[in-house]
Amino acid sequence: MQTRREILYGLGSSIGALALSSLLAEDAVETAAGGPLAPRDGHFPARARNCIFLMMEGGPSHIDTFDPKPKLQELHLQEFVRRGEQKSAMESGQRYYVQSPFRFRQHGQSGATMAENWQHLAGVADELCFYRGCQVDSVNHPTAMYQMNCGNRFGGDPGLGAWVTYGLGSVNQDLPGFLVLPEVSWPQGGAANWSNGFLPASYQGTPLRPQGSPLLDLKPPVGVTPERQRQNLDLLARMNQRHAELHPQHDELTARLESYELAFRMQTEVPDAIDLSGETQQTLQLYGIGNATTDSFGRKCLLARKMVEKGVRFVQLYNGTWDSHDYIARAHGNLVQGVDQPIAALISDLRERGLLDSTLVVWCGEFGRTPDNGIRGGTAYGRDHNPNAMTIWMAGGGCNAGHTIGATDETGMTAIEEVHHVRDFHVTLLRLLGLDDNKLTYYHAGRFKQLSQFGGSVIEPLLA
């Protein structure tokens, strides 16, 4: 039986040779560097070595968080005027402009503008780089989530963390390179948001359960010693090696065996990594742990800091229910209360430990929201989905801290300055981590694939 390399060699065409070169290069990375997650250099000198990605699922309203629109006070309750393609994502019934229920203030030497209820984040305002020019394609949550997390609206592609660990590996070989901290209810689109897609299985995100044991079967069964586990794995490895020699095209087998080995090592490493008992009371209070409002997300943020300290390359945190179609004052008000202190604590803690310069922190949702009322009548004001305008901010990791880049129009309906598709933001994120999107490719289904789908541009003003 011919191997896949022999088949490609036999093609005799340029694409066959290119594909063969890609496959050999992928094998060389994994074998010469010591495994798929072994740390390796990127394409450029990296400004950041790690990334903590704060995903606010549901679409936070930029108009009610970080992008004030005084014009809406003047237009409040006037009929929503459609200009060209501008319209609400879920338009029906009478539409009218609504002002933000929050007042805005400027903070720090940078004069960063935030809604008044970001009381803790205001204290680290000069560490933040706000970007108001990003646009996406979809108004639906699952497809927009896929595009923000994977670059592809239709799912099936690798997540951001999968691409990053594919390119850079991970410092700690006893923990996954890509960790995910979801909520009890997983985000729309589910685990496909952190899938390895067509990349080898070693690069998929590993979710930690928010309740109970973070990982199932973390402890071996009663009576099974580490020595016995090691013997079992060694026997399995010998049997699988013989099978792999006969069927070299079965890459999934190798990946599965690697996952068994990693799981064995994690039984030693994970308990310490997720144990918060060694943290000082001052640190726990800093993150809001013990407070009913901030405890859940505070624990996630503190775990993210611990994981970065231990060499995990990419950590993604989820916070949901930002889909405020009505009662936005109450809904967004409560949500901000739950994440404000933990996020500010994460940034200040990373800074105090000398980790902020090497850790890129990203905050975003899957899209922004419209300036008009999100319900069909009444006074319980909310907002609809808006792919044409949103706010993303970054901290640390070589971003242009203390600056606000880009702008939206006077009502916040669409981006008008430094406007870029989300693919360009992805390319910029990779650049900060030392990766070139055009070189970080994987041959699959007859072509070389990349995070941006077909290329993009670095948003230079976002770089320090």
Tokens 């979801």 correspond to 182
Dist CA 207 CA 204 (whole Å): 10
Rounded to a whole number, what is the distance in angstroms from the first to the last CA of the chain? Answer: 54
The bridge status of strand 128-131 relative to strand 392-395 is antiparallel
Dist CA 295 CA 339 (whole Å): 9
pLDDT class for 195, splitting at 50, 70, 90? very high
Q: What is the pLDDT of residue 287?
A: 98
With beta carbons less than 8 A apart as the criterion, state whether 198 and 331 touch.
no
The b-or-e profile of 55-83 (16+ CB within 10 A means b, else e) is: bbbbbbbbbbbbbbbeebeebeeeebeee
With beta carbons less than 8 A apart as the criterion, state whether 341 and 287 touch.
yes
Q: What is the pLDDT of residues 105-115, one digit of tens each?
A: 999 999 999 99
* Confidence check: pLDDT of 226 > 70: no
Q: What is the pLDDT of residue 215?
A: 58
Q: What is the pLDDT of residues 246-289, one digit of tens each?
A: 766 666 656 655 655 555 455 555 556 678 888 999 999 999 99
Dist CA 410 CA 257 (whole Å): 56
Mean pLDDT of the chain: 86
* Confidence check: pLDDT of 5 > 60: no
Q: What is the pLDDT of residue 259?
A: 57
In three-state secondary structure terms, 214 is: coil
Dist CA 141 CA 374 (whole Å): 15
The full DSSP string for 23-53 is HHHHHHHHHHTTSTTS----SS--S-SEEEE
Q: What is the pLDDT of residue 329?
A: 94
Q: Token pair of 46, please?
A: 């990296």
Q: What angle do CA 272, 277, 279 make, to 5 degrees?
A: 95
Least confident of 210-224, 225-239, 340-354: 210-224
Highest mean predicted confidence (pLDDT) among 84-98, 230-244, 323-337? 323-337
* Confidence check: pLDDT of 152 > 90: yes
pLDDT class for 126, splitting at 50, 70, 90? very high
The bridge status of strand 134-135 relative to strand 420-421 is parallel
Q: Token pair of 441, please?
A: 């490719």
Q: What is the pLDDT of residues 344-365, one digit of tens each?
A: 999 999 999 999 999 999 999 9
Q: What is the model's pTM? A: 0.85
Cα 390–chain centre separation: 16
pLDDT class for 32, splitting at 50, 70, 90? very low
pLDDT class for 88, splitting at 50, 70, 90? low
Q: What is the pLDDT of residue 173?
A: 87
